[in-house]
Amino acid sequence: MVWIDYKILMKNKNLILVRHGQSEWNQKNIFTGWENPGLTQKGREEAKLAGILINNLKIKFNYLYTSALVRAQVTGTIILDNINQENVKIIKNKALNERFYGDLQGLNKDECRKKWGEDQVQIWRRSYDIGPPGGESLKETGERVMPFFLNEIFPLILKGENIIVSAHGNSLRSLIKYLDKLSSKEIVKLEIPTGSPIHYLFDDSGEILHKKNLIE
């Protein structure tokens, strides 16, 4: 076995994926989608911890990509405040938005279960290609997330840039499905905790050398 010193390799071609900290609607168990609640105090603390853990990697970052939604943007800003780095370019794009939940946005999840049944709500939440009424499926979410990632973010990584993506559970599921080569059945089972950073290190060809959840 060849021993690899990842600390030497981690100077470039790094990607951090982090879901936003707990939002006010996460706390209230409400379908959020493209709505814009702020972070709770717990969510701010999660974002701060994410920044501290990312800072411990001793990586110089070039870009922060985030969605058009406030909870992801604020999480990204708090992370930047805690990595103590200047000149990180911030790019906001709605392609990284959370899955659009359509008619369910703003509704309490437990109330939805009472109205439509546990099984139906679970299908809307966790099936790959069936969306809620008026909303997106995870498959459709990936169809807007992945072109943006492959055309804009991934080429920068291959050039040696280091990037943080502060986004949402389902936009990140779309990225992780691609990066980890997961099936549609596997990805719907993946839970991504709020404020928990995932670190990827790539080689020159774009293959993953190393992956680590910074919060075990």
* Residue 178 near residue 172, CB atoms below 8 Å: no
State pLDDT tens for residues 40-99.
Answer: 999 999 999 999 999 999 999 999 999 999 999 999 999 999 999 989 999 999 999 999
pLDDT > 60? residue 215? yes
Annotated catalytic, 140? no
Q: Which of 98, 136, 161, 168 is catalytic?
A: 98
Residue-level pLDDT at 202 = 96
45 an active-site residue? no
User: pLDDT (tens digit, 9 = 90+) per residue, 102-120?
Assistant: 999 999 999 999 999 999 9
Q: Which pLDDT band, with edges at 50, 70 and 90, does 6 fall under?
A: low
pLDDT at 3 over 80: no
Q: 5 by DSSP, 3-state: which? A: coil
Using the predicted structure, report yes or no on whether residue 2 has a pLDDT greater than 50: no
Q: What is the per-residue pLDDT for 11?
A: 79
Residue type at position 146: M
Tens of pLDDT, residue by residue over 154-203, are 999 999 999 999 999 999 999 999 999 999 999 999 999 999 999 999 99
- How many angstroms separate the CA atoms of 201 and 203, rounded? 7
* Burial zone of 129 (CB within 10 Å; 0-12 exposed, 13-18 middle, 19+ buried): exposed
Question: What are 12's two structure tokens?
Answer: 């470039």
pTM for this model (two decimals): 0.93
- 8-28 pLDDT, tens digit each: 556 789 999 999 999 999 999
Rounded to the nearest 10 degrees, the angle between the axes of helix 70-83 and helix 41-55 is 40
The burial class, CB within 10 Å (0-12 / 13-18 / 19+), for 92 is: middle
The one catalytic residue in 20, 46, 136, 199 is: 20
Domain boundaries along the sequence of the chain: 10-213
Instruction: Specify the pLDDT at position 1.
Output: 43
Question: What is the identity of the amino acid at 147?
Answer: P
- The answer to whether residue 5 scores a pLDDT higher than 60 is no
CATH number, domain 10-213: 3.40.50.1240
